[in-house]
Structure 1
Amino acid sequence: MYIPVSPSRRPHALLALLSGIVLILYLHNTHQPRPSFIPNPFWGSPSTSTSGKGGIVGLEEDDYRVRDRIERMRGYCEIDGELEKEYGRTNLRLSRAYEGSHHRFTRFLHKALRGEPLVISVIGGSITKGHHVEKDEIWFHRFWQWLDDYVGEDVQVTEVNGAAPATGSDYFSFCFPLHIPANSDLVLVELAVNDEGILQHVENMENLLRGLLEMPNRPAVMLVEAMAFSSGGMGGGGGRMHLPVAQYYDVPVINQRHPLANHFARYPQLVRPYFTVDGWGNPDTRHFNGRGHRDLGMLIASFVKDVACEMLSEQDFAVPPPDTTDDVSPLLSTIAQTTSDQNQTPEDAQLQDERLAEQQISWPEHSRSWRDNPREDQHVGELMPGMWSTPLEYGLMPRMRILNGWNPDPNFIVPPFHPTCLSTRAKEPQFNLTPSANVGWEHWVHPEHLDKPYMVARTPGATISFEMETNVGVVKMYSLKSKTFGLGTIECWVDGEKDRSVKIVGWWDKGDINIGRFDSIRDNLPPGQHTVTCEVLEETSDPDGGHEFRLISMMR
């Protein structure tokens, strides 16, 4: 029923109406239901969610961006995967030569879920540099495109391609800081094609991995093997040396060769549509084309996606706070300590065991600490670590090198590997290879390959010297090796000790492989400043009498 309101009462009615609206809004804001997830106001323990899939830690209740990123990633997990449709789950599994613990990759994904900017880098040879393909076809760029879309537009992902043609793990083990930024969060390494299957590359890859894993952001690292048929056997080249090193250091390995090599051997007609062509129109079986690049990038994408889906499916999943370190020393030292101290009472030991049991409740049974039976002279038995690795240890650096013999002393720890490289390929002035004396050498760039600069000499008697300071007593040279370029031999010595000189030969009998390799000049120098001098010799191993020598880097 309509009740007319007189003009004199309209202001009072309007005031009452506005008051009612304000009251309704107040009650709505103060008594609205809690959201479906309850963010924990403190970083540390997972919150709950009505979905039972875990929660979000350390967020203000009005901050839903992390939740939105989680749900975005979960959405990718719940739909039928395009990559599985393209390649098949079995082929994707075949490409995973080693998966590892996933620990550093989950840390990488945590950063993405928190919305932190990410830096992904790659080092590799001519394949990763993009030989015979466009820049936007390179496998690393393809993977970056996928990742940039996967984490969402509000997460900045920067790509850095640090590849250098004709280089291997020996070069990058010393010179990787010249090519990728120190703040990298993910580093992909594609060097299996450029490395030969020789024992030296076990040490080279180990030095490289130790250097990468100890970078400031403790990045996730992955080895990537592209398919090629130009070097090594059907089982590949340097990848055979890299795999055990990667397994020892808990570094995943994606190998494109595994699902494809035998298949191509059965159907050789597939080579031409998968690889680029050389100057004579023949398939270049060292460098695949854009299709091969995309495939390699998507094999990596599939692995990252599966790591994310497994992580998100965990019942107690929670996004940890930023700047969380892997400082596990307090708990690990407590677990590893012996309790033979006669002053520790059984009551103290019981309290200690109870605290540890609470901390380890989610650990696998065989990773939990346990109490040994006491000896006759003990009140309590020794506290023993679990027989299997604990979740706290994943991603930590091994204390011994892979080829070291067993050393039971836990205080024996291999020191960090922090190499220095002076190179013709340096992008920053402090890393430039600048001689202190020079007679007959010049800086030269191949006219058809502008990304291959060298210090070059072509006549016997040409000398060059470098002032180098070393803390580890090692000086190495990286130079080009080739059968067809007419390369000669040089002699190098340190601090005038020519009687202790070494010869470095540029020519080798390895077919059409033209690539850099390093040689040791001295490995027992006292720390400090030293002068390294090299001279082109009259003698040469080149059948045509060539003397040219192409120097790339000096390492210390």
Structure 2
Amino acid sequence: MKSNHSSSSRSSKALHQSLTPRITIFLLIVFILFLFTRLSLFPSESSSRAFDVAPRGLYRHFSPRDYLNESANDPAPFHFCPIYGPGDVLAKKYRAVNLQKSVLNRGSGTRIHRVIHKAMRGLPVTISVLGGSVSSCHGAGEDPLSPTCYPSMFFAWWNSVFPHPASELTNGARRKTDSSYYSYCNGHHLPDQTDLVILEFDSDDDYDGVWLEHFELLVRSILIRPDHPAVIILGHFSPQLQGLYGYAGPEQLHTQVAQFYDTPHVSIKALLYESFLHNPSLALEKYYADPMLPNSGGHRVLADALIHYMQEQICTGWAAVRGYTYDVTLPMIFNSDDAKVEDAVGLFRGMDVRKGDKAQGGKKKLWSPPTDRTAAAAVPRFFLTTRPDPSGGTDPFHFEEVQPFCVSANDLINPLPISLFVGTGWHMKRPSHAVADSLTTVDAYYWYAFYPASKLRVPVTVSGGDVAIWYLTQDSRAGQATSEVSCWVDNNYGGAKVIDGAAGSDPRPSIRIIDRSVEPGSHYVECQLQGTEGVKVAPFKLLGVFTT
């Protein structure tokens, strides 16, 4: 037994002695391979880099950041951001592609972001509307501030996002009125100070090049106001106009102006056109009071298109303010923009006082000087159709800024003096109610005469050189009598223009340019009723005299 135990001990010892060198050699080979790969594949940092690397321990408090979805880490305080995201209810309702197509011109958005920036700072915002029958809520409440009409719908949404008790909504829209009137008389329908003006004339203007000039004058005259408001062009889709023009319409002229003056143009045509073609009767029932006017459902679409555009700009503006994006021209901030909310003036520069409020002096104005406010959104120093004169030297455009001048029969604040009508054969028509909500024969204020040779002289001020007559047409169907007037500037009898009031349709306002290139300054316009003297004719109805 002892010999067996001794032999086994010797054999295990011999095995251990034989394995030790092998393990040592194996470990040595592994170490050499590790050292070789370390030196060849991973050279020393000091030999390959020209900068120092901080110890990794300094970054232990950092965490990965999703730059492609910034809202996941730092969400905006608006539920509809990011646009077309999970919180974008309107995108689910109308589809993102249709909402994208509804913006006919987006522009830089500089003026819009100035308004949004003001609202984000907790300051009140005044929103004004100009338009025709659609914006005056004809067919959807009949009240310009009806809750079933898009102006009130949009304003209610605005207050839900930027609530402020001093924010204002004004609606200067008039039934059966196109941009030709507002291009000269918009100042009569806008407050002295406003931040945002919505223009809705896509279904009111004619698809004619003349209306390109009218609409340009309207947009330009608003942009150069002392308060420099932002402008949004809003378009209604009318089945009646689709029957006349097909897909193209007056909105194409308005888009040209929008592009030239960097104003957004939003239209609901992309939202309703396809559904109207597929099922006209259903679309008319759901969205229209008649082939021209929308009902409350159509106004909901108008409000939603406008709201979604503003939501897009709010989300983009917020991202730019936080430094997440740089695709927005942020408004410049000046000391005069830092007035406190309690220093805000009223709608008419502090002249109005609400019931229960006391008038206070020394109010600061919440708007900057024109040169500051337009620094990032300057109005072009020429017109859309301007062509340079090669021989013009330093002034190749011979540019004169427009200052629209409006003498309107509907101006109840500064009407023409009664003395101008005495002994002229012309009279002033006043409707039975205090305020005319349209310009039809029943509702309008106008000047009229029915004895030939009756002559009316109206003093005017000219800046840009154009002089126009605004009048009410007369239905010549069924043999109804019509009349004519001859109008001229100063003593330019040879340049007099004869205006025929006849029209083969219902009475509607119309405009006629009677002179161009009139010298700036004070002038007068004379209009004389035509016909056989002493023989009574159908009354000719003048609505106003306009100049630029």
- Which position in structure 2 is the counterpart of 1:292? 298
Q: TM-score, normalised by structure 2?
A: 0.68
Query: Distance between the aligned counterparts of 1:133 and 1:90, measured in 2?
Result: 28
- Partner SS, residue 401 of structure 1: coil
Q: In structure 1, what is the equivalent of residue 540 of structure 2?
A: 549
Q: Is the 8 A contact 1:74 1:309 kept in 2?
A: no
Kept in 2, the 8 Å contact 1:464–1:533? The answer is yes
| Matched residue type, 1:463 | K
State the one-letter code of the partner of 2:215: M
Amino acid at match of 1:212: I
Does 2:409 match 1:397? Answer: no
Q: Aligned pair in 2 of structure 1 residues 96, 528: CA closer, same or farther (>3 Å)?
A: closer
Does 2:526 align with 1:538? no
1:464–1:302 distance in 2 versus 1, CA, 3 Å: same
| Higher mean displacement: 189-198 or 154-163 | 154-163
How far apart are the structure 1 equivalents of 2:385 and 2:108? 22
Q: Report 1:18-167 matches (<5 A).
A: 72-73=77-78, 77=82, 80-134=87-141, 135-151=146-162, 153-154=163-164, 156-167=166-177
Moved more, 176-185 or 311-320: 311-320
Deviations 1:472-521 (A, max 9, x none): 44321111235458543211123344333111122234x45x43222122
Q: Give 1:249 deviation, angstroms.
A: 1.0
Shift of 1:187: 0.6
Is 1:526 the counterpart of 2:519 in the alignment? yes
Q: Residues of 2 paired with 1:427 and 1:245: CA distance?
A: 31
1:467 matched to 2:459? The reply is yes
Match of 2:263 in 1: 251
Give 1:35's aligned residue: none
CA distance in 2, matches of 1:536, 1:150: 56
Residue 207 of structure 1, aligned match among 217, 221, 228: 217
430, 436, 451: which one pairs with 1:450?
Answer: 436
Distance 2:417 2:213 in 1: 25
From the superposition, tell whether residues 312 and 412 of structure 1 become closer, same or farther in structure 2 (CA, over 3 Å): farther
- Judged with a 3 Å threshold, the aligned counterparts in structure 2 of structure 1 residues 394 and 145 are, in CA distance, closer, same or farther, namely same
Unmatched runs of 5 consecutive residues or more in structure 2: 1-68, 325-329, 338-373, 438-443
SS in 1 for 2:277: helix
Q: Which residue of 2 aligns with 1:261?
A: 273
Whether the 8 Å CA contact 2:405–2:461 is kept in 1: the answer is no
Structure 2 CA distance for partners of 1:298 and 1:505, relative to 1, 3 Å: same
Question: 2:411, 2:168 → 1: CA distance?
Answer: 21
Percent of matched pairs sharing the same residue: 24
Tell me which amino acid in the other structure corresponds to 1:474.
D
Equivalent residue of 1:503, what SS?
A: strand
C-alpha deviation, 1:159, in angstroms = 0.6
Instruction: Give the CA deviation at 1:312.
Output: 1.3
Residue 192 of structure 1: which of 180, 202, 216 is its match? 202
CA–CA distance in structure 1, aligned partners of residues 293 and 519 of structure 2: 43
Could you give the per-residue CA deviations for residues 418-440 of structure 1, whole angstroms, max 9, x where no partner exists? Answer: 211111222532x6586724533
**Quick one: structure 1 residues 500 and 416, their matched pair in 2 at CA, closer, same or farther if it must change by over 3 Å?**
closer
Q: Write the letter of the residue equivalent to 1:457.
A: A
Distance in 2, Cα, partners of 1:240 & 1:149? 33
Partners of 1:533 and 1:261 in 2: CA distance: 47
Work out the CA distance in 2 between the residues paired with 1:394 and 1:76.
26
Match of 1:495 among 479, 490, 498: 490
**Structure 1 equivalent of residue 312 of structure 2:** 306
What one-letter code is carried by the residue in structure 2 that aligns with 1:450? A
Query: Contact 2:405–2:460 (CA<8 Å) still a contact in 1?
Result: no
Moved more, 214-223 or 232-241: 232-241
Render the CA deviation track for 1:143-181: whole Å, top value 9, x for unaligned: 111111111x34632011011222222211111111112
Alignment RMSD (CA, Å): 3.2
- Name the SS for the 2:524 alignment partner: strand
Query: Structure 1 residues 74, 214: CA separation in 2 closer, same or farther (over 3 Å shift)?
Result: farther
Match for residue 285 of structure 2 among 262, 269, 273: 273
Alpha-carbon distance in structure 2 between the residues aligned to 1:272 and 1:433: 47
1:424 aligns with 2:409: yes
> TM-score normalised to the size of structure 1?
0.67
Give the aligned partner of residue 508 of structure 1. Answer: 503
Counterpart Cα distance in 1 of 2:411 and 2:231: 23
Name the larger-Rg structure. Answer: 2
Offset from partner CA, 1:277-313 (integer Å, 9 cap, x none): 5xxxxxx211111111121011101000011101212
Does the CA contact (< 8 Å) of 1:187 and 1:222 recur in 2? yes
- Indicate conservation of the 8 Å contact 1:423/1:433, yes or no: no
Cα gap change, 1:263 to 1:494, in 2 (>3 Å): same
Report how far residue 79 of structure 1 moved. 5.5
The answer to whether structure 1 residue 226 and structure 2 residue 219 are counterparts is no
Measured after TM superposition, the shift of residue 244 of structure 1 is 0.9
More strand by share: 1
Say if 2:117 and 2:331, in contact at 8 Å, map to a contact too. yes
- Aligned CA distance change for structure 1 residues 411 and 501 (closer, same or farther; 3 Å): closer
Whole-angstrom distance in 2 between the partners of 1:121 and 1:235? 29
Distance 1:233 1:257, change over 3 A: same
CA distance in 2, matches of 1:435, 1:271: 54
Instruction: Report the Cα distance in structure 1 between the residues aligned to 2:257 and 2:98, rounded to whole angstroms.
Output: 24
Q: Is the 8 Å Cα contact of residues 139 and 295 (structure 2) preserved in structure 1?
A: yes
